Amino acid sequence: MIGTLDPKVPPGPLDQKWRNHQDHSRLVNPNNRRKLEVIIVGSGLAGGSAAATLGELGYRVKCFCFQDSPRRAHSIAAQGGINAAKNYQNDGDSVYRLFYDTIKGGDFRSREANVYRLAEIANNIIDQCVAQGVPFAREYSGYLANRSFGGAQVSRTFYARGQTGQQLLLGCYQALCRQVASGTVQMFPYTEMLDLVNVNGQAKGIITRNLRSGKIERHAADAVVLATGGYGNVFYLSTNARGSNVTATYRAYKRGALFANPSFTQIHPTCIPVSGDYQSKLTLMSESLRNDGRVWVPKRKEDRFKAPGEIPEGERDYYLERKYPSYGNLAPRDISSRAAKEVCDEGRGVGPGGRGVYLDFADAIKRLGVETIRERYGNLFEVYKKITGEDAYKLPMRIYPAVHYTMGGLWVDYDLMSNVPGLFVIGEANFSDHGANRLGASALMQGLADGYFVMPNTLPNYLAGQMGKRPSPESSEFQEAENSVRARIEKLLKVNGTRSADSFHRELGLLLWDKCGMSRNEQGLRQALRKIPELRDEFWRDVRVPGDQEDYNQSLERAGRVADFLEFAELMCIDALERDESAGAHFREEHQTPDGEALRDDESHAAVFAWEFQGDGQPPKLHREELHFETVHLAQRSYK
């Protein structure tokens, strides 16, 4: 069905592609916009900003979120900041440099034109957010302040204390509220998308379940936009919110959308270590802490049980500063995470189970005073104290890598449209901008770029040809999709076994963390590929989902999501096996440099791997989008 994957990158020099594309895309006149309906699933930075902006333009928007309010989407938990190439610090920043850092940070596995557009738009985002009243940090002069983040040698990150995601999301939520009040956007909270409906090969609607009443509904539209975030919770323990899930994108995959690079999952280096079996999630300590904190472990294994204060300076190994002198503690996430794993594997990890490294603020406190540190990171220190009971002003924090973000997602072209016409995918849910590793402070940038500035310019290009083509929700395609949703729910309720969905989820997570986590190898991936179907079979034999369909049934919600994770996990491992190279966060042990860095294979793997569903129990089909680098030179990524 699918021919060659055409990313539809506009012609012309890199820095003029976006302008040229805007100049030549089709438009919808204001009177016609109110006749067109757009479904947006998700209300985080990408979905919320897209819904608000398309509403402002006059389209009729229906926005869905599983949370009880759009303001609770998981973007709210982002801490550190958002990048832009304003060069307010006069430290040599430029659009090109932001573009280059992002491409390099992604280990040359993303599409040049998309990344360049992102870097170009970044400055507009800051303007937009300031105009909305986002209270970014300021200098005494009243000008905006910046901080540094990993993978960059300039200071280009804008922030609102340790709650940047919250403030950006609230800005976008408020813009959304304004459109709800004006009647252009209709909100559907506590509503989950359970299937995509294609009519004549085009995405024309969704099937949803109201989580509180259990009511299954059909929604038809002229286009569908998925902004449903990442799938990090496939690992069970991650920094994602409990509800974050793969269901919307996975259902779209089963309806023909290609899933790209699913094995590219980011493990964030600075999280609070796991403390117990019943732990339900992991908490991130913002990367911004690495601006002032120094990461170390004892040089000698024997010292790991000593109190940190008893280990003299000379007996400490500041391993990031040692291995990567030019970036030091600000080395990118994939590299810092692997370095932490390595020292813990050597037996030098600290804390319970030896899975932790110190992030030490003693020097920064000495240099800047406790007040400055409190002002910069006070809320993070409080969170740390709540969870661990320890005071990081006095003792170094203990941190360890945890699953945080997924670079993989549904395949999209330059317009952010998937291979299914009419299905757009934005934010973390798509694969497009971060390659094999995302740099800090660029997820917020991408979400808002897609919603505020890309969607309003590319969606009309499709919608212009769709006037009067919206199908009736009574059509057979909707009937078929609703039937399959109902059948699946009934099947879940009928198993009536002995184990909770959570217990399967936890088991799946442990397996993936072990075999498809921070490092992977062929043997481990093959083992996982044997075990996942077994676990899935057991799930469908022995899961217990109490209660009914037509009720507020949280067990049913979770079971449906876990069932999808159990299928999706297999796709992830297949992709990790097929990508027989190391790239960014995807570290195949078979492919490393003599000093243990990721070794790419540009000859045969400078491509996006996009997978097509071929039916249950059938192996998916691989489509490749070759990546052509016209501007950057592919180099061994060095942060030394």
Partner 1 sequence: MTAPSVIPSFAQDDREPMNFKLKIWRQRDAKSRGKLTDYEVRDISPDTSFLEMLDILNENLLQARGEPVAFDSDCREGICGTCSLTVNGEAHGPDHPGAVCELYMRKFRDGETITVEPFRVGAFPIVKDLVVDRSALDRIVQAGGFISARAGSAPEANSILVPKHDADLAMEAAACIGCGACAAACPNGSAMLFAAAKVSHLSFLPQGTPERERRVLKMVQVMDEQKFGNCTNTYECEAVCPAKISASFIAKLNREYARAQFRQRLGE
Site for partner 1 in 414-443 (CB under 8 A): none
* Closer Cβ to partner 1, 65 or 115, answer by number: 65
Tell me which residues in 286-315 interact with partner 1 (CB under 8 A): 305-310
* Closer Cβ to partner 1, 170 or 610, answer by number: 170
Q: What is the DSSP code (8-state) at residue 512?
A: H
3-class secondary-structure state, position 503: helix
* Closer Cβ to partner 1, 200 or 554, answer by number: 554
Of 8, 24, 215, 242, which one interacts with partner 1 (CB under 8 A)? 242
Tell me which residues in 366-385 interact with partner 1 (CB under 8 A): 383
Tell me which residues in 544-573 interact with partner 1 (CB under 8 A): 544, 546-547, 552, 554-555
CB of 505 vs partner 1, minimal distance in Å? 12
**Cβ 260 vs Cβ 408: under 8 Å:** yes
* Closer Cβ to partner 1, 379 or 592, answer by number: 379
Which pairs count as long-range contacts for 483-488, CB under 8 Å and 24+ apart, including other chains?
484/195, 485/194, 485/195, 485/207, 485/209, 485/216, 486/216, 486/549, 488/194, 488/560, 488/563
Could you give the string, one character per residue 440-459, with x where binding to partner 1 holds by CB under 8 A and - elsewhere?
------------xx--x---
Return the closest-CA partner of residue 569 out of 330, 401, 408.
Answer: 408
Q: Is 30 in the site for partner 1 (CB under 8 A)?
A: no
Q: What's the rounded Cα separation, in Å, for the pair 231 and 445? A: 19
Could you give the residue numbers annotated as active site? 333
Of 388, 521, 527, 592, which one interacts with partner 1 (CB under 8 A)? 388
- Count how many residues are written for the chain: 640
Q: Is 278 in the site for partner 1 (CB under 8 A)?
A: yes
CB of 304 vs partner 1, minimal distance in Å? 10
Q: Is 135 in the site for partner 1 (CB under 8 A)?
A: yes
Rounded to 10 degrees, what is the CA torsion of 289, 294, 300, 306?
-70
Tell me which residues in 339-358 interact with partner 1 (CB under 8 A): 351-352
What is the enclosing helix (H) or strand (E) of 83? strand 82-83
* Closer Cβ to partner 1, 260 or 282, answer by number: 282
* Closer Cβ to partner 1, 175 or 489, answer by number: 175
**Cβ 575 vs Cβ 611: under 8 Å:** yes
* Closer Cβ to partner 1, 395 or 529, answer by number: 395
Alpha-carbon dihedral sign for residues 10, 13, 18, 19: negative
- 40 beta partners: 63, 225
Could you give the string, one character per residue 217-236, with x where binding to partner 1 holds by CB under 8 A and - elsewhere?
--------------------
Amino acid of residue 576:
A
CB of 172 vs partner 1, minimal distance in Å? 10
Beta strand 223-226 with 423-425 is: parallel
Of 36, 118, 170, 297, which one interacts with partner 1 (CB under 8 A)? 170
Neighbours of 149 (CB within 10 A): 28
Tell me which residues in 41-100 interact with partner 1 (CB under 8 A): 49, 52-53, 56, 67-72, 74, 76-77, 86, 88
Q: What's the rounded Cα separation, in Å, for the pair 86 and 70? A: 30
Q: Is 139 in the site for partner 1 (CB under 8 A)?
A: yes
Stretch that binds partner 1, among 170-178, 421-429, 430-438, 479-487 (CB under 8 A): 170-178
CB of 162 vs partner 1, minimal distance in Å? 10
Return the closest-CA partner of residue 430 out of 452, 413, 449.
Answer: 413
Distant-in-sequence, close-in-space partners of 269: CB < 8 Å, separation ≥ 6: 287, 333, 336, 337, 339, 340, 399, 401
CB of 258 vs partner 1, minimal distance in Å? 29
* Closer Cβ to partner 1, 177 or 252, answer by number: 177
3-class secondary-structure state, position 436: coil
Total residues binding partner 1 (CB under 8 A): 90
Return the closest-CA partner of residue 111 out of 216, 247, 8.
Answer: 8
Of 87, 102, 110, 166, which one interacts with partner 1 (CB under 8 A)? 166
Q: Is 390 in the site for partner 1 (CB under 8 A)?
A: yes
CB of 53 vs partner 1, minimal distance in Å? 4
CB of 276 vs partner 1, minimal distance in Å? 5
Rounded to 10 degrees, what is the CA torsion of 527, 531, 533, 536?
-150
* Closer Cβ to partner 1, 324 or 361, answer by number: 361
CB of 297 vs partner 1, minimal distance in Å? 15
Q: Is 325 in the site for partner 1 (CB under 8 A)?
A: no
369: its two tokens? 């005073």
Q: Is 589 in the site for partner 1 (CB under 8 A)?
A: no
Task: Output the DSSP codes for 582-596.
Answer: -BTTB-BTTSB-TTS
Q: Is 521 in the site for partner 1 (CB under 8 A)?
A: no
* Closer Cβ to partner 1, 66 or 250, answer by number: 66
Stretch that binds partner 1, among 165-173, 335-343, 473-481, 512-520 (CB under 8 A): 165-173
Q: Is 126 in the site for partner 1 (CB under 8 A)?
A: yes
CB of 110 vs partner 1, minimal distance in Å? 25
Distant-in-sequence, close-in-space partners of 540: CB < 8 Å, separation ≥ 6: 491, 495, 563
Tell me which residues in 96-125 interact with partner 1 (CB under 8 A): 124
Of 181, 494, 594, 617, which one interacts with partner 1 (CB under 8 A)? 181
Amino acid of residue 474:
E
Q: What's the rounded Cα separation, in Å, for the pair 532 and 98? A: 40
CB of 452 vs partner 1, minimal distance in Å? 4
State the Rg of the chain over Cα: 24
Return the closest-CA partner of residue 404 out of 274, 272, 268.
Answer: 268
